[in-house]
Amino acid sequence: MTFLKINNLSVDYQMRKETVNAAKNVNIEVKKGEILGLVGESGSGKSTVGNAIINLIDEPGKVSSGSVILGDLNIHENSESIVKYRGNKIGLIFQDPQTSLNPILTVGEQLIETIQTHLKLSKEDAKNKSINLLKEVGIKDAETRFDNYPHQFSGGMRQRVVISLALCCEPELLIADEPTTALDVSIQSQILELIKKLTKERNLAVILITHDMGVIAETADRVAVMKSGNLVEIGETKKILTQPRENYTKSLVSSVPPTNKKISRFVIVEKENSDKKENNIKILNRWTKKGIIDQDLVQIKNLRKSFDDNFFTESSKNSVMAVDDVSFDIKEGESFGLVGESGSGKSTIAKMIVSLFKPTSGDIFFDNVRITKIKQRSELMKFRKQIQMIFQDPYSSLNGRLKVKDIITEPITLHNPSISNLDLNNYIYDLLESVELTQKSADRYPHEFSGGQRQRISIARALATQPRLLVCDEPTSALDVSIQAQILNLLKDLQEQLNLTILFISHDLPVVRQMCDRIGVLKDGKLCEVSNTEDLFLKPAHEYTKELLRLMPKIESIYN
Amino acid sequence: MLVVAFVSFSLFNFVGDPINNMVGEETSDEERAELRETLGLMDPIHVQFSRFIINASKGEFGISYQLRRPVSELIVERLPATVELVVISALIAIITGTLLGVYTGINRKGFLSDFVLAISLLGVSLPTFVIGILFIYLFAVILGILPSFGRGEVVDLGFWTTGFLTVSGLKAIILPSVTLSLFQMTYIIRLVRAEMMEILQTDYIKFARARGISENSIKYKHALKNGLIPVITIAGINIGTLIAFSIITETVFQWPGMGFLFIQAVQFVDIPIMSAYLVFIAFVFVMINFIVDILYYLIDPRIRVKGDVASG
């Protein structure tokens, strides 16, 4: 029996010049006890639909037409009526558990307040109910944790608190907006299990909004696909993922890195780029190419890094070892992957390799030179030129006040001050074309570009000094899958043609499998194992690796 | 503190010859030399400085050249007036500033908000002494309801003289304290407004709305508490600034406080008073920052419990 019925829902954002339709005539139905996955890329309107159900659209947007029927209630009858259903009949979970709890109220205060808003309970009863809820969502020592502040919980625990808050007044509909995107895989699977369990036990209707096809494959009963405000396709999960009807769904599914095999390139359905090979040659002419010698380009020996080791508290008991006795080598021309959950020290290692951090002890050798012992700035610059980094967030890693041209010029002139203007301009154009951007982009500012294009600019900037080693720290985790596929293809092409060595850091196992020749697995600053990619995925040696592989959401699970 | 002490000591010791200001024209050179000796002005610099530090830590700053009385005594005498003025204006600034800030932050559009913001712009841009003179003209000269200068009648409690216990004392404090608080108040209005607007956009406010928490609770419990955290920092720094600004206000209103004493001292190059005042102000600043840190600790739970933050 249909429980939630969304009819012709439209959401408009009235801008100064035009009206943006964030959602257009969306029709969705959800049954009780069913999880409906709502997928789409960023800007597709999936969160807008989620928020529109409880009329929580920020100004200047508003629900312009359509109705939402919950059971036999029309909850959009007027703008005030919806307020009493929020939290009461409908619970909402947001993406980031770090920001969705009020930092200066205890968890208990927030729970009690929510319960007392909707249910007529005494403070004592509300407290008991909250403690039971915390226990139900899997928080140990609920009695003492009740009085803790949000910052005293870890990310996963905090998301459990958020879930308990969403469920505390026994809603019948739960809207989860990217509930696990900000979490590590192991915690992600716990939270998803919890949502599945609660759906069954409480007979909830659930709308799960996500961009992660793996999550959808493992949890959702049915899927609705959205693109630029329109509902493209809706149907059984298995059918949508295996036999998509619409072109858009096809490209979306094919962009998802498969977890069970290695493919040479991602298939990009919509876009064809035939003139790309030619472009890449341009930059190749300038590349002072070194023949690949079978040697280790980077050697890392017993690397340690502890933070808060300042002058006064050296080797104190409390100091955290971010990187603890890590040794591995990267061969010239290979892609080496470092995987691990947040806090495992993978980014710290990257920053030490590019000499942004100083190791506490241990050595890093680059091309057989010990770069950790270099004192002179000019000496270090020689290595800085050969090692370049691409950061995770393409929005904050480019200076918004500089034109793209100036962003790329900076590293070139820093390492080659005598370059002529004409030569410089040509070089910039070549670089831009190599990353599949037009020459015109040189005179624009970063904010005029999309996330994927910005990441291309970052790559061009990194290539400007003709590095031998490219350190990519989660280069695609802020991007949509289809864009991710394009960027990964680009990195693969560049590596092939320029003989780049890549250190690829990611938490995303399927991506690492597609990108890397060898992989190191990190946990709590320690290296668990290093092995060839296929060996690692097929016969993992370490317990932790097995665990990670088991928990990784697999889009292929739909076949089972 | 030590640095400020040194600066105040050296600055004033090398500016002019105090003996010239103390004695008349007809004093003989022998008498001058004798006076120099008794005041310890002939000793080497470091001896003078260490004596200065030792005395300062005992609360002794020497004898005023001009009034021929111990500086510590003068300061204790003038302290209550300044403290009362600053406390009252700080209270006015913080309470009114926060209330108006919250109001304008929540009702972003609306005649009253625009009006308050326009006035606050005026408060920021007009110098204190202009406002003070305008107030005197309006309330004391034209309307004649409030006194234009002095503290009114004061009650001596032995260790403290207060103007709070008499009608004329209370009347007298209104104009100077309002004048003094105006600049800080407008500052706080703008700060609280910006904070409230930002916090109302955050995820946890959105999540609170999604749980159906009432709007009043969201605004005054969830948002305001978070919004006040930066206000404490600013207010702490500003109380120090208030004392500094009080020099001007006290002069305009002939308020017998320390700022007024300082201005008089400057006119007579009365070094002991000036250096004592500087050291005292530095001490107040340090104390206020200390108190602000403690307040932070009490209000923001994220600072309070650092030990058991779970990682991951």
Instruction: Decide if pLDDT at B252 tops 70.
Output: yes
Strand pairing partners for A471? A389, A503
Mutate to test the interface with A, among B204, B232, B296, B306 (most CBs of A within 10 A): B204
Query: How many C-beta neighbours within 10 Å does residue A139 have?
Result: 19
Instruction: Decide if pLDDT at A557 tops 70.
Output: yes
Write out pLDDT tens, residues A492-528.
Answer: 888 888 888 999 998 888 888 888 999 999 988 889 9
pLDDT of residue A560: 60
Length of chain B counted residue by residue: 312
Write out pLDDT tens, residues A108-157.
Answer: 889 998 888 888 888 888 899 899 888 888 888 888 888 888 888 887 88
- Closest approach of B211 to chain A, Cα-based (Å): 4
Q: Which of A161-170, B77-86, B301-310 has the highest mean pLDDT?
A: A161-170
Q: Which residues of B touch A162 (CB under 8 A)?
A: 207
Q: Which residues of A touch B202 (CB under 8 A)?
A: 99
Euclidean distance between CA atoms A507 and A338, whole angstroms: 8
Write out pLDDT tens, residues B42-92.
Answer: 666 667 777 777 776 666 666 776 667 777 777 777 888 888 888 888 888
pLDDT of residue A333: 86
pLDDT of residue A470: 92
Q: Which two tokens stand for residue B291?
A: 């108190």
Phi/psi at A503 (nearest 5 deg)? -105, 115
Q: Are A68 and A155 contacting, i.e. CB atoms less than 8 angstroms apart?
A: no
Ranking A286-300, B133-147, B199-213, B240-254 by mean pLDDT, the lowest is A286-300
- Give percent of chain A above pLDDT 90: 12
- Closest approach of A103 to chain B, Cα-based (Å): 8
Write out pLDDT tens, residues A408-464.
Answer: 998 888 888 888 888 898 889 888 888 888 888 888 888 888 888 899 999 999 988
**Closest residue of A to B199, CA-based?**
A102
Using DSSP's 3-state secondary structure scheme, residue B10 falls into helix
Q: Which two tokens stand for residue B87?
A: 């406390």
Ranking A510-519, B8-17, B123-132 by mean pLDDT, the lowest is B8-17
Write out pLDDT tens, residues A362-388.
Answer: 889 988 888 888 878 888 888 888 899
Question: Computed over its alpha carbons, how large is the radius of gyration of chain A?
Answer: 26
Write out pLDDT tens, residues B181-239.
Answer: 888 888 888 888 888 888 888 888 888 888 888 888 888 888 888 888 878 777 777 77
Partner-chain residue, chosen from A96, A104, A155, that has the shortest CB–CB distance to B203: A96
**Closest residue of B to A56, CA-based?**
B210
pLDDT of residue A99: 83
Q: Which two tokens stand for residue A112?
A: 């009690």
The mean pLDDT of A168-190, rounded to a whole number, is 85
Q: Are A40 and A227 contacting, i.e. CB atoms less than 8 angstroms apart?
A: yes
Partner-chain residue, chosen from B201, B211, B311, that has the shortest CB–CB distance to A343: B311
Write out pLDDT tens, residues B266-281.
Answer: 777 677 777 778 777 8
Q: Quick one: pLDDT band at residue A274, thresholds 50, 70, 90? A: very low
| Contact partners, residue B262, CB within 8 Å, separation at least 6 | B247, B273, B274, B277
Any B CB within 8 A of A81 CB: no
Any A CB within 8 A of B207 CB: yes
The mean pLDDT of A91-105, rounded to a whole number, is 84
User: A241-250 burial string, b = 16+ CB within 10 Å, else e?
Assistant: beebeeebbe
- Closest approach of B287 to chain A, Cα-based (Å): 26
Mean of pLDDT over chain B? 76
Mean of pLDDT over chain A? 84
Q: Which two tokens stand for residue A534?
A: 């296929």
Euclidean distance between CA atoms A503 and A334, whole angstroms: 8
Write out pLDDT tens, residues A532-545.
Answer: 988 888 888 899 99
Any A CB within 8 A of B307 CB: no
Q: Which residues of A touch B211 (CB under 8 A)?
A: 86-87, 91-92, 114, 117, 165-166, 168-169
Any B CB within 8 A of A260 CB: no
- Give percent of chain A above pLDDT 70: 91
DSSP A108-176: HHHHHHHHHHHS---HHHHHHHHHHHHHHTT-TTHHHHTT--GGGS-HHHHHHHHHHHHHTT--SEEEE
Q: Are B89 and B259 contacting, i.e. CB atoms less than 8 angstroms apart?
A: no
Nearest alpha carbon to residue A452 among A436, A464, A440, A467 = A436
Partner-chain residue, chosen from B217, B302, B311, that has the shortest CB–CB distance to A154: B311
Q: Which residues of A touch B302 (CB under 8 A)?
A: 103-104, 149, 151
Q: Which of residues 224-253 of B touch A (CB under 8 A)?
A: 225-226, 229
pLDDT of residue A281: 53
Ranking A467-481, A530-544, B2-16, B108-122 by mean pLDDT, the lowest is B2-16
Say how many CB pairs under 8 Å bridge A and B.
100
Global pTM reads: 0.74
Instruction: Decide if pLDDT at B9 tops 80.
Output: no
Any A CB within 8 A of B297 CB: no
Q: Which residues of A touch B209 (CB under 8 A)?
A: 56, 86
The mean pLDDT of A239-248, rounded to a whole number, is 86
Euclidean distance between CA atoms A341 and A508, whole angstroms: 9
Contact flag B203-A99 (C-beta cutoff 8 Å): yes
Instruction: Decide if pLDDT at B310 tops 50.
Output: no
Looking at per-residue pLDDT, the higher value among B182 and B15 belongs to: B182
Instruction: Decide if pLDDT at A292 tops 70.
Output: no
Per DSSP, A212 falls in state -
pLDDT of residue B289: 81
Euclidean distance between CA atoms A462 and A446, whole angstroms: 16
**Closest residue of B to A84, CA-based?**
B212
Q: Which residues of B touch A114 (CB under 8 A)?
A: 211-213
Q: Quick one: pLDDT band at residue A277, thresholds 50, 70, 90? A: very low
Write out pLDDT tens, residues A307-366.
Answer: 765 545 444 455 667 888 899 999 988 999 999 887 788 888 988 888 888 888 888 998
Q: Which of residues 186-205 of B touch A (CB under 8 A)?
A: 201-204
pLDDT of residue B1: 66
Instruction: Decide if pLDDT at A263 tops 80.
Output: no
Partner-chain residue, chosen from A56, A92, A152, that has the shortest CB–CB distance to B310: A152
CA A489 to chain centre: 18
Using CA atoms, how far residue B17 sits from A184, A253, A357, B29, in Å, is 73, 88, 56, 14
Partner-chain residue, chosen from B211, B212, B302, that has the shortest CB–CB distance to A151: B302
Q: Which of A81-85, A288-292, A369-373, A407-411 has the highest mean pLDDT?
A: A407-411
